[in-house]
Amino acid sequence: NAGVTQTPKFQVLKTGQSMTLQCAQDMNHNSMYWYRQDPGMGLRLIYYSASEGTTDKGEVPNGYNVSRLNKREFSLRLESAAPSQTSVYFCASSEVLAGDTRADTQYFGPGTRLTVL
Amino acid sequence: QKEVEQNSGPLSVPEGAIASLNCTYSDRGSQSFFWYRQYSGKSPELIMFIYSNGDKEDGRFTAQLNKASQYVSLLIRDSQPSDSATYLCAVNKDTGFQKLVFGTGTRLLVSP
């Protein structure tokens, strides 16, 4: 049981290049999330998917697109990378504990460290 | 005003002491509250959550919630050097689905 996996672990892009960050979970969770973490800003939600087939914008969606490929996989795409997108990107998935949505618990992947030059 | 506020620290405590980490939130409709621990260069991992006023204990950790004061705290008893990390407070406003708003975290340093 690997939990939440992300690829790649590190990536360096030039301004204007595109790339897709991959995320997969093997916990049979319905909900998946993409965050970015920047110094002094904390974790900020980019996009989320409440269930297979649905995606919604979070707090900072500009410059990103997502695809919920199936229940396991949720990818994040940067179409034209900018230096402002230099960050650490975390994928997470969540389950509901004991049938109570207040106790919905998110599990995070190891992160992708992205640098845009 | 930030939705979730934490003192960035560092909070320094000696080994064996009680570490007290605090968090305030602005939305009175917030339903549940989470504490995550994040070691340097690693991903956040859940310590515990709380959604009822009062205290909730789990081993050396106690979460305290006061909705009237919009305040949640985490106490770590018998602090160990391995507890040195950044502690993130997160708040969920939506009872139907979990969309967390995170604070920027408090860095805890436990000295031997």
pLDDT in tens, A38-91: 988 889 999 999 888 899 999 999 999 999 989 999 999 999 999 999 999 999
| Chain A contact present for B19, CB below 8 A | no
At A47 the pLDDT is 96
- Among partner residues A31, A41, A102, which is closest to B31 by beta-carbon distance? A102
Q: How would residue B61 be classed by pLDDT, with cut points 50, 70 and 90?
A: very high
At residue A3, what is the residue type?
Answer: G
Q: How would residue B96 be classed by pLDDT, with cut points 50, 70 and 90?
A: low
| Chain A contact present for B99, CB below 8 A | yes
Mean pLDDT of A22-44: 93
Each residue's pLDDT tens digit, A35-49: 999 988 889 999 999
